Amino acid sequence: MTGDERDRDLPDQPDDRPSQQDPESTADEATSHSEHSDDAGNDRAFDDAYDDDTDGGSDDPSDERTDAAGYAGTRRRRRKQKKKAGWLKVTLLSLLSMFLVVVLAFVGFALYLNHVLSSNITHGASLPSSTVKPAADAGDSENILLLGSDTRSGTVDDVRSGARSDVIQLVHISSDHKSVQIVHFPRDLYVPIPGHGKNKINAAFAYGGPGLLAQTISKMLGGIVINRYAIIDFKGFAELTDDLGGVDVYVSQSFDEKGYGSFKKGYNTMDGDEALGFVRERHQLKEGDIDRGRNQQAWISAVVHKTLSAGTLFNPVKLTNTVKDLTKYTQVDADTSAGDIRSLALSLRKLRSGDITYYTAPFSGFANDKVAGSIDVVDKPRMKQLGKAIYHDKMDTYTYGKNTIR
């Protein structure tokens, strides 16, 4: 067998010799491999950027296990973030819903109170046109004549039908609406009544209702503008007190009289009937009607304090009943609308009990008249001073007759 034949019959052996490839072919293959690797890396980077559930990873194939763990961790973090965002959205929507419910409830309640105010309150005659021009320095101050009518009928539809004005208080509201002064005019003050000569001031109400009484007071004070009047029947005193759950009134003089009640000196918690007897009594008081006026102011102070307390303002039932009784037994002048009352109440919303000061109109003593009987003598000089202070909204300059009301 020849050598060539032997070579053909032998199996192929691996060639340990270095490859003798063409340099250009080797370079092309290296370039092709590099481009292929770059394409794969770019594809993975593109996939990572496109997939919302990943945050990218290493392009090195040897890091596949690390990429898998990072991918799973990222998904867990994103699930937690989505869950947190969902919880926050639900919470915000719940709070918004609760807020809307509260707002709608408040608006509905306000509309209901406005309905109560508009439907319950009654209107009397207009006040006569004032012949007094407001003072330039009085600003937006107001004077309201507050009257208590003892009709004993439980209605104020006809306040002149056998009625007596046993409460005569002039309420002065400062121009900035930050303070209020309440001046009691004793019913026995002996004064000139336009068109009726001289008599007790109480007679002006019987002769011509709140209009003539307003004219009488304005003239006595030297000329002031009285903007409105409000008359509350005595039955309203009682029901208003009961709606507030009773009031704590400071009694300066103890007394015990059948039909009026028994009261000790100091604070007394009064229900409606007790409060009614308290504001009516005068026979056992040292200065009669003078002290009765102070007792009425003590009751007013207790009611204001209780009404402005959180227990009333934020209690829908108490607030509604209070508004009902303030309107059901109250008559205002024909020119005062429900909107006027609502605006006035809003303007006084920051007022507190300590912002109210109480006075008794000045008198110089007591006497008897052969027609009018026992009378209170007017202190004319000081009455003019009081009128001037009211007219110019300078009540801080007037100190005479100030009452200490607790």
Amino acid at 337: S
Q: Which two tokens stand for residue 343?
A: 């605006």
Tell me which of 119 and 29 has the higher pLDDT.
119
Q: Can you spell out the DSSP letters for 300-362?
A: HHHHHHHHTSHHHHT-HHHHHHHHHHHHHTEEE-TT--HHHHHHHHHHTTT--GGGEEEEE--
H or E stretch covering 166: strand 165-173
Helices 64-120 & 338-347, crossing angle to 10 degrees?
130
Burial letters for 49-72: b for 16+ Cβ neighbours within 10 Å, e otherwise?
A: eeeeebeebebeeeeeeebeebbe
Mean of pLDDT over the chain:
79
Q: Which two tokens stand for residue 349?
A: 């919303």
Q: Each residue of 230-251: pLDDT tens digit? A: 998 888 888 889 988 999 999 9
Q: Which two tokens stand for residue 194?
A: 């336009």
Q: pLDDT grade, residue 16 (50/70/90)?
A: very low
What pLDDT score does 22 carry?
A: 46
Q: Each residue of 76-93: pLDDT tens digit? A: 666 666 666 667 777 777
Alpha-carbon span 239 to 249, nearest angstrom: 16
Select from 212, 227, 205 the least CA-distant residue to 391. 227
Residue owning tokens 């060639």: 15
Q: Each residue of 180-206: pLDDT tens digit? A: 999 999 999 999 999 999 999 999 999
Instruction: Please tell me the pTM assigned to this model.
Output: 0.72
| Residue 368 near residue 160 (C-beta atoms within 8 A) | no
Q: Can you spell out the DSSP letters for 272-288?
A: HHHHHHHHH--TTSTTT
Distance separating the N- and C-terminal Cα atoms of the chain:
144
What pLDDT score does 386 carry?
A: 98
Q: Which two tokens stand for residue 319?
A: 């607030």
Alpha-carbon span 1 to 13, nearest angstrom: 21
Alpha-carbon span 308 to 128, nearest angstrom: 33
